[in-house]
C-alpha cells in the first residue's frame, strides 16, 4: 500500500501517466521573484504562462489600441521563421537590410518624396523612436545653421506642437533638453492651428510637430496652413523651419483614401515623417518608420559607423539590437496587398467607422468630437442631459465586463473637464462586431438607467491609460 503511494507521488513529481495539469507544478506555487534552481518541462512552462495570460483582455476586442492584433497565417509563418535574426547584424543578414531599404523606398514614394530629392529612412521600434530621431536631426541642423551663421550666443532651442500630441513628443523635449512650446487646445478645437504656431515661433524654433491623426480625437492639425506660414516666415525673416509630421496612425490611411489631401513631402517644409508600421501598416508590434525627404537634413555627426559586426555599418538609431521579423512582415503586407489591397481595407474601415458613428449618434446620448474626422477613430462625449445617469468611465468599465476594451479619458489642456470614449476601428473589426458593440452599449445604458430609477449609484472609475 505504502509503496503504491510512493510510486504515485514519484509519478506525480515527474508528471508521468497524467496530463500536464496532473503534474506537481500545478499544485505548487510557481516561481515569481527568483529564478528557480531547476527548470520544468516545456509544455508545463507554456501552459502555466499561457493560462495566466487568460487574465489579459482579448486583443481582438481591444478597441483602445491602434496596434495590429491580426495578420494572415502566411505572415505569421514568415515572422516565426525569422524571429532569431537580429536586424543589426547587417553583415550576417544583408538581405534583411536590403528588404528594409525597399520598404523605405516604397514609403518615401507613398509620401510623395520629390524625384530630385535624395530621401533616406530607417525602420524603428515604433513611432516613438522615429519621432525622437527625427527631431534630434532637426535640433542638430538648427545648431549647424547657427554655427554657419557665426552665432555663438547660448540659446535654448524650442519646439512647437499642440497639446494634442502623443506623450513621446513631451518626452523628447525633456530628454533632449529642448524648450517645449506646447499650444493648449481650446474647447471644441483639438488641433494645432497656423495662428497658434505664428504666436510662438522664433529663430530658435528647431521644428514644428504636426499630427496626422491625433491620439485624442483622430483629427489632423492644420498642416498645409502651417506650411504656408513657414514659407512666409522664411521669406520675411529668413528662418528656415522644418515640419516633422507624426503620421503614426494616419500615415498608412490618408495616402490610400485621400490621395489628394496634402500633408506630406509635397509641402515644402515637411522634411521628415514617421509612421507606425504596427498601426495601420497592419503589422504586429513593434515596427515604425522614419523617412527624411533628403539626406542633407541629417547631420553626418549623428551617424555612427560601427565595424564590430564585420564590414563598416552606418547606424542612425536610438537602440541597437532588434528583431527582423516585423520589418519583413511589413514588406510582406506591401507585396501581398499592394496599393489596391491597402485601399480596400482602409475603405472598409472608414465605412464601418461611419456606420458606428451614425449608430452612436442615433442613441442621442453621445456627441461626436471632430466632425471632420478623416481616420477610423471615433471620440465621443456624453451629452449634458445624461451626465447624471452615467459617465464615460462608467461605460468603459461596464463594457470591459463584456470583454470590450474601450478607453475613457479626459482631453488635454485647456479642456481637461471634457471626458471622452475612444474607439479605434481596426482591420478585424467587422460591421457585425459594430452591431454587437452597439447592443452591449444599449445594455450598459439600461443598467445605469435602472440603477438611477432605483435611486442607486455606482462607483465612478478613473481614467485608464490610452497610450
Ligand atoms: C499620434 C501618435 N504619435 C506617436 C505614437 C507612438 O507610437 P508608437 O506606439 O508606434 O511608438 C502614437 C501611439 O498611439 C500616436 O497615436
407, 464 contact by CB (below 8 A): yes
Cα(321) to ligand 1 centroid in Å equals 21
Instruction: Answer yes or no: do 104 and 52 share one domain.
Output: no
Residues lining ligand 1, Cβ inside 6 A: 66, 126-128, 166, 168, 211, 214-215, 246, 248-249, 276, 288
In a domain, 368, yes or no: no
State whether 92 and 146 are in the same domain.
Answer: yes
Distance 165 CA to ligand 1 centre (A): 9
Question: 5: pLDDT confidence band, cut at 50, 70 and 90?
Answer: low
The alpha-carbon radius of gyration of the chain (Å, integer) is: 26
If asked whether residues 44 and 134 sit together in one domain, one would say no
- All residues at 6 or more sequence positions from 143 whose CB lies less than 8 Å from its CB, including other chains: 157
Q: Are residues 52 and 83 in the same domain?
A: no
Structural contact between residues 440 and 401, judged by C-beta atoms closer than 8 angstroms:
no
Q: How many CB atoms lie within 10 A of CB 315?
A: 16
Please report whether residue 131 resides in a domain: yes
Of all atoms in ligand 1, which is nearest to the CA of residue 276? 10
- pLDDT per position as a tens digit, 324-346: 999 999 999 999 999 999 999 99
Mean per-residue pLDDT over the chain, rounded:
91
Q: Which CATH number characterizes residue 45's domain?
A: 4.10.280
- Do 322 and 185 have their domain in common? yes
CA of 129 to the centre of ligand 1 (A): 10
**Sheet arrangement for strand 366-368:** 366-368, 377-382, 419-424, 408-410
Q: What is the mean pLDDT of residues 239-243?
A: 97
Q: Give the position, in ligand 1's atom list, of the atom nearest the Cα of 211.
A: 1
| Whole-number Å distance between alpha carbons of 376 and 426 | 8
**Structural domain includes residue 418:** no
Highest averaged pLDDT of the listed ranges 16-30, 408-422, 426-440:
426-440
Question: Does 429 fall in a domain?
Answer: no
* Boundary (domain end) residue, out of 290, 312, 333: 333
Distance CA 160, CA 142 (A): 14
One DSSP character per residue, 136-170 reads: HHHHHHHHHHHHHTT--S----EEEEETTS-HHHH
How many whole angstroms from 81 Cα to the centroid of ligand 1?
28
Length of the chain as a residue count: 467
Domain end position, chosen among 315, 333, 351: 333
**Helix or strand holding residue 243 (H, E):** strand 243-246
Mean pLDDT of the 214-239 span = 95
Are 30 and 116 part of one and the same domain? no
CB 424 within 8 A of CB 377: yes
Provide the pairing of β-strand 120-124 with 288-292.
antiparallel
Question: What is the largest distance, in Å, between two alpha-carbon atoms of the chain?
Answer: 99
Residue 67 has a pLDDT of 96
Last residue of a domain, one of 333, 365, 396: 333
Q: How many domains does the chain have?
A: 2
> Same structural domain for residues 82 and 36?
no
Q: Which residues, listed in sequence order, are joined to residue 419 by a DSSP beta bridge?
A: 410
Q: Could you tell me if 86 and 36 lie in one domain? A: no
Query: Other CB atoms closer than 10 Å to residue 347's CB: what's the count?
Result: 12
What pLDDT is stored for residue 388 in this prediction? 87
Q: Which atom of ligand 1 is nearest to the CA of 278?
A: 10
Cα(337)–Cα(351) distance, rounded to whole angstroms? 19
The residues near 307 (Cβ < 8 Å, ≥ 6 apart) are: 313
DSSP-derived letter for residue 304 is E
Q: Quick one: cell of 197? A: 504656431
- Residues 47 and 100 occupy one common structural domain: no
In a domain, 19, yes or no: yes
Confidence of residue 78 (pLDDT cuts 50, 70, 90): very high
Quote the pLDDT of residue 16: 72
Residue 423, in any domain of the structure? no
CB 179 within 8 A of CB 186: no
Domain with 142 in it: what CATH number? Answer: 3.40.640.10
CA 5 / ligand 1 centre spacing (Å): 58
Q: Is residue 445 part of a domain?
A: no
Whether residue 223 is contained in a domain is answered as yes
- Give percent of the chain with pLDDT exceeding 90: 76
The reported pLDDT for the residue numbered 312 is: 60
Residue appearing with cell numbers 523606398:
105
Sort strands 377-382 and 270-276 into parallel, antiparallel or unpaired. unpaired
Based on the domain organization, do 115 and 192 belong to the same domain? Answer: yes
Cα 128 to ligand 1 centroid, rounded to whole Å: 6
Same structural domain for residues 265 and 137?
yes
Ligand 1 atom with minimal separation from the 288 CA: 10
d(CA 159, CA 333): 35
Average pLDDT over residues 103-132: 95
Query: Is residue 115 domain-shared with residue 260, that is, in the same domain?
Result: yes
Q: Which domain holds residue 140?
A: 77-333
Q: Convert the pLDDT of each residue in 171-211 to its tens digit.
A: 999 999 999 999 998 887 889 999 999 999 999 999 999 99
* pLDDT exceeds 70 at position 371: no
Residue 175 buriedness (CB in 10 A; 0-12 / 13-18 / 19+): exposed
| CA 150–ligand 1 middle distance (angstroms) | 37
Question: What is the H or E stretch that residue 100 is in?
Answer: helix 94-110
- Map residue 444 onto helix, strand or coil: helix
CB 418 within 8 A of CB 410: yes
Question: Which of 64, 66, 277 is the pocket-test mutation for ligand 1 (most atoms within 8 Å of CB)?
Answer: 66
Closest CA to 377 of 224, 212, 186: 212
DSSP track, 311-353: S-EEE--S-S--BSHHHHHHHHHHHHHHHHHHHHHHHHHHHHH
Amino acid at each position: 500500500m505504502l509503496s503504491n503511494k510512493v510510486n504515485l507521488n514519484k509519478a506525480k513529481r515527474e508528471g508521468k501517466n497524467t496530463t500536464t495539469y496532473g503534474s506537481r507544478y500545478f499544485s505548487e506555487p510557481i516561481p515569481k521573484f527568483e529564478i528557480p534552481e531547476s527548470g520544468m518541462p516545456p509544455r508545463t512552462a507554456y501552459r502555466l504562462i499561457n493560462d495566466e495570460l487568460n487574465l489579459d483582455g482579448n486583443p481582438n476586442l481591444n478597441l483602445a489600441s491602434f496596434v495590429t492584433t491580426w495578420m494572415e497565417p502566411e505572415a505569421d509563418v514568415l515572422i516565426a521563421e525569422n524571429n532569431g535574426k537580429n536586424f543589426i547584424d547587417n553583415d550576417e543578414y544583408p538581405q534583411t537590410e536590403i528588404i528594409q531599404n525597399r520598404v523605405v523606398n516604397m514609403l518615401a514614394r507613398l509620401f510623395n518624396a520629390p524625384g530630385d530629392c535624395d530621401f533616406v529612412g530607417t525602420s524603428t521600434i515604433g513611432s516613438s523612436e522615429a519621432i525622437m530621431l527625427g527631431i534630434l536631426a532637426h535640433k542638430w541642423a538648427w545648431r549647424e545653421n547657427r554655427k554657419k551663421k557665426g552665432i555663438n550666443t547660448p540659446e535654448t532651442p524650442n519646439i512647437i506642437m499642440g497639446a494634442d500630441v502623443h506623450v513621446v513628443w513631451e518626452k523628447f523635449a525633456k530628454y533632449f533638453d529642448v524648450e517645449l512650446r506646447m499650444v493648449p487646445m481650446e474647447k471644441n478645437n483639438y488641433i494645432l492651428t497656423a495662428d497658434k504656431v505664428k504666436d510662438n515661433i522664433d529663430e530658435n524654433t528647431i521644428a514644428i510637430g504636426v499630427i496626422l491623426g491625433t491620439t485624442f480625437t483622430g483629427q489632423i492639425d492644420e498642416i498645409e496652413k502651417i506650411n504656408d506660414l513657414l514659407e512666409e516666415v522664411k521669406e520675411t525673416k529668413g528662418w528656415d523651419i522644418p515640419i516633422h509630421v507624426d503620421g503614426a496612425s494616419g500615415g498608412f490611411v490618408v495616402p490610400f483614401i485621400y490621395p489628394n489631401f496634402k500633408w506630406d513631402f509635397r509641402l515644402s517644409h515637411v522634411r521628415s515623417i514617421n509612421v507606425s508600421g504596427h498601426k495601420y501598416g497592419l503589422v504586429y508590434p513593434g515596427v515604425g518608420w522614419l523617412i527624411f525627404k533628403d539626406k542633407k537634413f541629417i547631420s553626418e555627426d549623428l551617424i555612427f559607423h560601427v565595424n564590430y559586426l564585420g564590414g563598416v555599418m552606418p547606424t542612425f538609431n536610438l537602440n541597437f539590437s532588434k528583431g527582423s521579423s516585423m520589418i519583413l512582415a511589413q514588406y510582406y503586407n506591401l507585396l501581398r496587398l499592394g496599393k489596391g489591397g491597402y485601399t480596400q481595407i482602409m475603405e472598409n474601415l472608414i465605412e464601418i467607422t461611419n456606420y458606428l458613428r451614425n449608430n452612436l449618434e442615433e442613441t442621442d446620448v453621445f456627441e461626436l468630437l471632430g466632425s471632420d474626422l478623416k481616420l477610423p477613430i471615433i471620440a465621443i462625449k456624453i451629452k449634458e442631459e445624461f451626465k447624471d445617469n452615467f459617465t464615460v468611465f462608467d461605460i468603459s468599465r461596464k463594457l470591459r465586463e463584456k470583454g470590450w476594451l474601450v478607453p475613457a479619458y479626459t482631453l488635454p489642456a485647456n479642456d481637461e473637464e471634457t471626458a471622452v470614449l475612444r474607439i479605434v476601428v481596426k482591420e478585424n473589426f467587422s460591421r457585425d462586431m459594430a452591431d454587437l458593440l452597439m447592443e452591449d452599449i444599449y445594455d450598459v445604458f439600461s443598467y445605469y438607467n435602472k440603477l438611477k430609477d432605483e435611486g442607486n449609484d455606482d462607483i465612478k472609475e478613473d481614467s485608464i491609460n490610452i497610450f
